[in-house]
Amino acid sequence: MKIQTLTLGFLIVQLSLSSCQNQIQEKQKTVKDSTEQINQSTDSLLTKIQSQTFQYFWEAAEPTSGLARERIHIDGEYPQNDQNVITIGGSGFGIMGMVVAMERGFISKEEGTERLSKIMEYLKKIERFEGAWSHWYFGDTGKVKAFSEKDNGGDIVETAFLAQALIVVREYFKSGNNQQKIVAKAADDLWKEINWKHYTNGQNVLYWHWSKTHGFGMNHAIQGFDECLITYVLAASSPSHAIDTAVYNQGWARSGQIKSDLKKFDIPISAKHNAKPGEVGPLFWSHYSFLGLDPIGLKDAYVDYGEIVKNHTKINIAYSAANPNGYKGYGPDKGWGWTASYSIAGYDAHHPDNDKSVISPTAALSSIPYTPKESIAFANYLFKQLGDKVWGKYGFYDAYSETENWYPQRYLAIDQGPIVVMIENYRTGLIWKLFMQADEIQQGLKKLGFTSPDIK
């Protein structure tokens, strides 16, 4: 009787353990299925954003050149004679977006090759300034459109944004079919013709502008930290017109003065921003140079660029949580991210110390490699809470304000382009891999004393 009782008890324990194990397995399966659904949902969301935003550079490209229009207004008139103006820097972002589009199947490689061939021919024909392009051109005529009175010549920063893309195209197509190799060769030739050294004006610093009529009259020295790091990296990497290391150290790095001990929201800024004392700049400073240049683990003798761009983004998120002005729709899981974009009164370089209640979707979306959780939460907030108010033909509109009930249906190339590229860098690292593998970039970074997991 005692044995039978023990046996029955043992069976009950076994059945109980088996039931618990089944419940655990069911819970694990439920968690796994839920995680897979979240991952699939996020993938679909990111693909939707990339594919629709890319159409700005594909369907809406200026037809004569194949390059990106400076702006597209769905809701109204353009500034005078502006509808066919193309942007060199924004076109560079769009060209990198074409590589993403080919890889993801938004367009075929044949379509991409044909468009890029047209673009290379156009870039070869239009006027250049010691190998550099101007900021703007009239796409239909190829004539320069002056950015300002003395800024009617070469813009070495906009040129750098384009050159970054030329190297990416070359690396992507260099082992392709005959037509792709022709495009790769054309991109390589254009990149090597840029006379970076000329833009030092004989000094140990790069100057932003040079004009045939005004020379270096703009007198704008490029110093860190802002969106221009890529200009120095390319200038040092050039196989034909390279700058000396001293130009980087004394110019961009300010002989070490680029370092900063400043903190905001107890988050280190790490680099001196080209802003008023105590302020951080707009978030595009942490995007434009890093579409091809991988900042993660990238360090020179002075600063850690991975830390700089991540902390710059985290400061924006902390500011949205604090929301000192009590603006509507702010928060780490809602609206956040301040950069240069359209604003309620024209155009403005928004940042936490220059907040007009205007949020620019490109700021958070292009920061996705640095803060994926918050960037994805922001994208979901836009779709679920604001919908068609902020989403249109070419992706999210440039800017909005819930506080002012302001939802203009306008786009800018320089804001749409980084969204496509940086989402891809978060997902696969594609553009970072292509750019960082280039032999001359490897050598240029070593020359400047950089270390990075990408440097072989």
12 Cβ partners below 8 Å, 6+ apart?
none
In this prediction, residues 220-236 reach a mean pLDDT of 98
pLDDT at 373: 97
Give domain status of residue 326, yes or no: yes
Residue 26's pLDDT band (cuts 50, 70, 90): low
The whole-angstrom separation of Cα 355 and Cα 104 is: 36
Residue 17's pLDDT band (cuts 50, 70, 90): very low
Strand partners, 107: none
The whole-angstrom separation of Cα 301 and Cα 366 is: 27
Residue 95 has pLDDT above 50, yes or no: yes
Burial profile 390-400: b = 16 or more Cβ within 10 angstroms, e = fewer: bbbebbbbbbb
Q: Structure tokens of 20?
A: 């618990």
In this prediction, residues 45-52 reach a mean pLDDT of 98
Q: What is the CATH number of the domain that holds 61?
A: 1.50.10.140
Round the average pLDDT of the chain to a whole number and report it: 93
Residue 11's pLDDT band (cuts 50, 70, 90): very low
Residue 40 has pLDDT above 80, yes or no: no
How many C-beta atoms lie closer than 10 Å to residue 327's C-beta?
A: 18
Q: What's 400's DSSP letter?
A: B
Backbone angles phi, psi at 135, to 5 degrees: -65, -50
Backbone angles phi, psi at 320, to 5 degrees: -65, -35
Q: What's 374's DSSP letter?
A: H
- Using one digit for the tens of pLDDT, what is the confidence trace for 254-310? 999 999 999 999 999 999 999 999 999 999 999 999 999 999 999 999 999 999 999
Give domain status of residue 259, yes or no: yes
Residue 1 has pLDDT above 80, yes or no: no
Residue 83's pLDDT band (cuts 50, 70, 90): confident
Give domain status of residue 38, yes or no: no
State the distance between the two ends of the chain, measured CA to CA, in whole angstroms.
Answer: 76
pLDDT at 27: 44
- Using one digit for the tens of pLDDT, what is the confidence trace for 153-184? 999 999 999 999 999 999 999 999 999 999 99
In this prediction, residues 408-415 reach a mean pLDDT of 97
Give domain status of residue 30, yes or no: no
Backbone angles phi, psi at 15, to 5 degrees: -65, -40
pLDDT at 3: 42
Give domain status of residue 46, yes or no: no
Residue 76's pLDDT band (cuts 50, 70, 90): confident
pLDDT at 23: 53
Q: Residue for token digits 């353990």?
A: 17
pLDDT at 15: 43
Residue 146 has pLDDT above 50, yes or no: yes
Per the CB < 8 A criterion, the answer to whether 241 and 198 are in contact is yes
pLDDT at 8: 44
Q: What's 255's DSSP letter?
A: G
How would you class 201 by CB atoms within 10 Å of its CB: exposed for 0-12, middle for 13-18, buried for 19 or more? middle
Residue 379 has pLDDT above 90, yes or no: yes
Domain hosting 93: range is 53-74+81-447
Q: Which of 126, 97, 101, 121 is nearest to 111 (CA)?
A: 101
Per the CB < 8 A criterion, the answer to whether 115 and 66 are in contact is yes
Residue 36 has pLDDT above 80, yes or no: no
197 Cβ partners below 8 Å, 6+ apart?
235, 238, 241, 242, 243
In this prediction, residues 66-85 reach a mean pLDDT of 88
Q: Which of 184, 54, 62 is nearest to 122 (CA)?
A: 62
Q: Which of 342, 388, 338, 344 is nearest to 364 (CA)?
A: 338
Residue 58 has pLDDT above 60, yes or no: yes
Q: Residue for token digits 């110390």?
A: 353
How would you class 35 by CB atoms within 10 Å of its CB: exposed for 0-12, middle for 13-18, buried for 19 or more? exposed
The whole-angstrom separation of Cα 349 and Cα 354 is: 8
Strand partners, 129: 132
The whole-angstrom separation of Cα 254 and Cα 272 is: 10
Which region among 12-21, 221-230, 233-242, 432-441 has the lowest average model confidence (pLDDT)?
Answer: 12-21
Residue 16 has pLDDT above 80, yes or no: no
Give domain status of residue 300, yes or no: yes
Give how many domains the chain has, as a whole number: 1
pLDDT at 84: 93
**3-state SS class at 379:** helix
Burial profile 2-15: b = 16 or more Cβ within 10 angstroms, e = fewer: eeeeeeeeeeeeee
The whole-angstrom separation of Cα 77 and Cα 98 is: 28
pLDDT at 34: 43
Q: Which of 405, 413, 279 is nearest to 338 (CA)?
A: 279
Which region among 29-33, 40-44, 227-231 has the lowest average model confidence (pLDDT)?
Answer: 29-33
Alpha helices in 333-429 (DSSP H): 361-365, 372-381, 413-427
pLDDT at 77: 77
Give domain status of residue 99, yes or no: yes
Residue 13's pLDDT band (cuts 50, 70, 90): very low
pLDDT at 256: 97
Residue 414 has pLDDT above 60, yes or no: yes
Residue 4 has pLDDT above 80, yes or no: no
Give domain status of residue 262, yes or no: yes
The whole-angstrom separation of Cα 305 and Cα 423 is: 19
Q: Which of 302, 222, 224, 223 is nearest to 256 (CA)?
A: 302
pLDDT at 441: 98
In this prediction, residues 51-73 reach a mean pLDDT of 98
344 Cβ partners below 8 Å, 6+ apart?
356, 357, 358, 401, 404, 406
Residue 25's pLDDT band (cuts 50, 70, 90): low
Which region among 37-41, 316-320, 389-393 has the lowest average model confidence (pLDDT)?
Answer: 37-41
Residue 22's pLDDT band (cuts 50, 70, 90): low
